[in-house]
């Protein structure tokens, strides 16, 4: 199975906004057979992933997914773009399948992922450093989550990348204010996020993470400065699926058959109307 940076890997994104909706729909179909799962992660990251696959150069740039509970969205995007087979995507989370619900070393699509939180940025910094040492024209994109900012290793990596001015490293930070025990801000104060990264030698920008065009624009220009770049995407784990109850647990959404059917109808209807 393929990783995005493998030589010869190819895909093309023609309509990023539509891709975001298709990521949501496919993730829904991957979770529905289980009755629960990491759907909220796909909902909050759908536009970021659509933008990422729009900007990344196939077969060259590298991709890190630090919080492995999010791999569902990466797998969904990869299945829509022909990087992962639909048959493989359908085995998501099943006994004996390599398409594991919490991504691991053997997961396809990403160049690196780790189910133990807060470790991915170090790997991304290592990739960016290796490319610099080898003189390669390559970018590394790292996806991280706001909850992960509670782990100390994130800040070790941030300091390292800032010190070494790893300007080919671009971070998408999904700020959905969700972790297992509840809203991040009720557990640990992580704000001001942008100012922290800036103090560590990064260029930081804070945007609406569901505005796919804004995310694309930011990512495209992110490697032009002389510092690593972090894009702080303000998002919601319920975005783009109006039928979810207001109290749905963003980390692990319960999806009984009736709700799954309503979600399927909502998303397919949106695609048919061609408005998302």
Partner 1 sequence: MAELNQPPYPTVLKPYGQSLVALAKERDDVLCLTGDLSKQCEIDLFADAYPERFIHAGMAEANMMGVAGALARDGFVPYVHTFGTFATRRPLDQVINAIAFPNLKVRIMGFMPGVSSPGGPSHQAIDDVALMRAVPNMTVVDVADAVEGRQVASAIVDVDGPVYVRLKRGEIPVIFGADHRLRLDRAQPLTPPGGDVALLASGMMVAPALAAARLLGSHGVDVSVVNVPVIKPLDAATVIAAATAAKVVVTAENHTVVGGLGSAVAEVVAEAGLGRPLRRVGLRDTFAEGARTGPYLFGAYGLSTQALADAAWTALGRRDRVPVATVAAAEEGEYSPV
Spatial separation of the C-alpha atoms in residues 49 and 250, rounded to whole Å: 18
CB 51 within 8 A of CB 220: no
The helix or strand, by DSSP H or E, that contains position 223, with its residue range, turns out to be: none
Closer to partner 1 by CB, 16 or 37: give it: 37
Region near partner 1 per CB under 8 A, out of 125-133, 142-150, 205-213, 234-242: 142-150
Of residues 197-256, those binding partner 1 (CB under 8 A): none
Return the residue of 15, 88, 90, 151 that touches partner 1, per CB under 8 A: 151
68 lies in the binding site for partner 1 (CB under 8 A) = yes
Which tokens is 203 given? 């260029």
Least CB distance to partner 1 at residue 11 (A): 25
Least CB distance to partner 1 at residue 114 (A): 6
Spatial separation of the C-alpha atoms in residues 182 and 178, rounded to whole Å: 6
Spatial separation of the C-alpha atoms in residues 58 and 138, rounded to whole Å: 11
Buried/exposed 170-198: b ≥16 CB within 10 Å, e otherwise: bbbbbbbbbbeeeebeeeeebeebbebbe
Least CB distance to partner 1 at residue 185 (A): 11
Return the residue of 134, 152, 226, 272 that touches partner 1, per CB under 8 A: 152
Spatial separation of the C-alpha atoms in residues 95 and 271, rounded to whole Å: 32
Closer to partner 1 by CB, 113 or 235: give it: 113
Least CB distance to partner 1 at residue 145 (A): 10
Of residues 167-196, those binding partner 1 (CB under 8 A): 179-181, 187-188
Least CB distance to partner 1 at residue 103 (A): 8
CB 175 within 8 A of CB 210: no
Region near partner 1 per CB under 8 A, out of 24-32, 144-152, 230-238, 261-269: 144-152
Spatial separation of the C-alpha atoms in residues 108 and 84, rounded to whole Å: 8
Closer to partner 1 by CB, 75 or 229: give it: 75
Closer to partner 1 by CB, 55 or 76: give it: 76
Spatial separation of the C-alpha atoms in residues 149 and 224, rounded to whole Å: 25
Of residues 90-129, those binding partner 1 (CB under 8 A): 93-97, 100-105, 114-118
CB 70 within 8 A of CB 45: yes
Spatial separation of the C-alpha atoms in residues 233 and 205, rounded to whole Å: 9
Spatial separation of the C-alpha atoms in residues 121 and 132, rounded to whole Å: 16
Residues in contact with partner 1 by CB under 8 A are 34, 68, 93-97, 100-105, 114-118, 147-148, 150-152, 179-181, 187-188
């Amino acid at each position: 199975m393929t990783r995005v940076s493998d030589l010869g890997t190819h895909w093309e994104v023609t309509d990023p906004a539509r891709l975001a909706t298709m990521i949501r729909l496919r993730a829904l179909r991957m979770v529905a057979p289980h009755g629960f799962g990491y759907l909220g992660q796909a909902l909050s990251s759908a536009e970021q992933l659509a933008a990422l696959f729009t900007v990344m150069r196939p077969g060259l740039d590298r991709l890190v997914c630090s919080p492995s509970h999010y791999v569902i969205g990466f797998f969904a995007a990869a299945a829509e773009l022909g990087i992962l087979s639909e048959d493989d995507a359908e085995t998501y989370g099943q006994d004996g399948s390599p398409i594991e619900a919490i991504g691991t070393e053997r997961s396809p699509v990403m160049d690196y992922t780790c189910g133990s939180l807060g470790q991915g940025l170090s790997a991304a910094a290592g990739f960016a450093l290796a490319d610099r040492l080898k003189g390669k024209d390559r970018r590394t994109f790292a996806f991280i989550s706001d909850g992960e900012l509670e782990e100390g290793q994130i800040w070790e990596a941030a300091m390292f990348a800032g010190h070494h001015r790893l300007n080919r490293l671009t971070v998408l930070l999904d700020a959905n204010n969700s972790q297992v025990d509840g809203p991040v801000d009720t557990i640990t104060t992580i704000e001001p996020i942008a100012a922290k990264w800036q103090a560590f030698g990064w260029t930081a920008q804070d945007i609406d993470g569901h505005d796919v065009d804004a995310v694309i624009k930011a990512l495209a220009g992110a490697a032009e400065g002389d510092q690593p770049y972090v894009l702080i995407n303000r998002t919601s784990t319920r975005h783009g699926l109006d039928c979810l109850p207001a109290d749905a647990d963003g980390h692990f959404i319960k999806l009984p058959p009736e709700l799954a059917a309503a979600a399927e109808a909502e998303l397919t209807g949106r695609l048919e109307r061609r408005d998302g």
